[in-house]
Amino acid sequence: MSWRLVGTSPDGQLAVDLVPPAIVTIGRTPECTIHLVQRQVSRLHAEIHWAPGVGREGGHWRLRDCGATFGTFLNAVKLAAQAEVRLDHGDLLEIKPWQFRVEGPATDRTVAEGSQTVVAGAEPEGEFEPLAEVQTPGDLAQGLLVQLLVASEEVSQASDETSAGQCAVDSLASATGFTNVAFLKPGNDPASFEVVAHTGAITDSTGATHVSRSLLKRARNGIYVHRGGPTGSGTLEASLAQLSIRQAICVPVETAGIFYGWLYLDNRTGTGEVSHELEAAGFASAIARLLALSLASVARGRMQQRFDLEQQEMFGGTMRALIAAIDAKDPYTRGHSDRVAEFAVILAERAKLPGLLIERVRVCGLVHDIGKIGVPEEILRKPSRLDPEEFARIREHPETGANILKDIPQMRDILPGVLEHHERWDGGGYPRGLKGDAISLLGRLLCLADCFDAMTSARFYRPARPIAEVREEIRKCLGTHFDPELGREFLAIRESDLAARISTAPQPKH
């Protein structure tokens, strides 16, 4: 799988392959992998490095801001100094005045030069004209204004690039009379583009794309229009004749310095009526602005999701490290937290609890014993029963765990389960001696899952008990140790579903 950066700026273009496990530096010093000379670029502006995969997850590239004076932007979102984030295919990285597109493996929509009919070569003077002035929304005819309002609502509600582009294309085709309309974006290299959405003869049955690339090049920084049939000579004449283009308009889709692509419209000989270019260009300009704002909103939403995922992964990694630290203290309880989480989730699903609560049950199961990190190892590994003083230290772990987690926002909803998983239905538990429904639902669920795993797991001082014996013990303790209703739900779980998850730790040697 190949990755690359494709960059454009007023000073030129460049493309850089990203080959793991390389570290790619970007900055103004000649030693940087990507050497940018503009004064807005810091000496060491940003860094892109490869993060190897863990387990079944593949690796990925990560972008880090190196304290750049003028900032590093990803999808129009400025990264905090020294912050880093994952890169995905299609991301727009801006280091002013450069804009880089992150390209992963080539997609089926990418159109290379060999598979498109293009208008290339030297354009005769006047064949393409820049439109310095177009009609503003306020100048549009009443009918176009109505269609613009409808398009505004549809484009703004789009949830992704393709649906937003298709809304824009459909609106343009309906309002302007142009028969061939497309939303195009830059492709995997400066000489290619991708068709995001289209209508008409933009592509044919073979998948080849037929647009004027010369018009795309001219419209990179402003609206361009082609009027009338081909009148020049050479490559341009042949290309225009092949496409039979009578009219064409191309509008850049950009906002806040971020270029997303082009809205492309054309009419060809034998199709459609001749359209009014200025009126159509004004409407297309307004649609391009709406589309750019919609794409910026989609990009910001994706970035927020990515930042949230980064936080979740960081939090999850920290949590796993703490659990591993507890497991390392006692080989006979290794994996206990994972198993308790699984048993608790099975019980929660059996009790038909809502999905959000089931996720809380899972997380609570994983961290319920986090307080044992404060219990001396010699107590946890003692090969005989604990004396009263040692047991008193063990009894502290629910409160210790709750105190460790209480300042973590993601943990606040599961604190009752951490604190109360050793409370008993009859009030004989700890640390607070709560009774019945005064114990949180999480606490009652975790109590069952925790006790089941403890009894079916080996300890230094005793072997694991058979599942049938443990289930009978739970049955005897309904209404005393365990919530009777939840206990009956637990006993209704198929024994095979529980057996597949019980501890495989070695039996103690005597």
The answer to whether the predicted template modeling score (pTM) of the entire model surpasses 0.75 is no
Residue 486 tokens, joined: 């939840």
| Structure token pair of residue 393 | 């230290």
Domain ranges in the chain are 3-103, 110-295, 328-499
Give the chain's residues under pLDDT 70: 1, 54-57, 105-151, 188-191, 227-241, 270-275, 330-333, 460-461, 504-510
CATH fold for the domain made of 3-103? Tumour Suppressor Smad4 (2.60.200)
Task: For residue 12, give every residue at least 6 positions away whose Cβ sits within 8 Å of its Cβ, in sequence order, or none.
Answer: none
What CA–CA distance (Å, rounded) separates 4 from 102? Answer: 6
CA pair distance 344, 72, nearest whole angstrom: 44
Q: In the prediction, which pLDDT does 125 show?
A: 37
pLDDT on residue 209: 86
Please report the pLDDT score of residue 476 as a whole number: 96
CA torsion, ordered 261, 267, 273, 276, to nearest 10 deg: 50
Q: For residue 115, what pLDDT is reported?
A: 34
pLDDT in tens, 330-351: 666 678 999 999 999 999 999 9
Which residues, other chains included, contact 214 with Cβ-Cβ below 8 Å and sequence gap of 6+?
Answer: 118, 119, 120, 121, 123, 128, 236, 239
Superfamily of segment(s) 328-499: Hypothetical protein af1432 (1.10.3210.10)
* pLDDT given at position 275: 62
Fold adopted by 110-295: Beta-Lactamase (3.30.450)
- At residue 110, the pLDDT reads 42
Mark 7-44 as b/e (b = at least 16 C-beta within 10 Å): bbeeeeebbbebeeeeebbbbbeeebebebeeeebbeb
**Which CA distances in Å does 425 have to 71, 400, 433, 476?**
58, 22, 9, 13
Mean pLDDT, rounded, of the chain:
82
| C-beta neighbour count of 66 within 10 angstroms | 17
Give the pLDDT of residue 124: 36
- Looking at residue 20, its pLDDT comes to 86
The DSSP element (H or E) to which 9 belongs, if any, is: strand 3-9
Written as six digits, the tokens of 503 are 């501890």
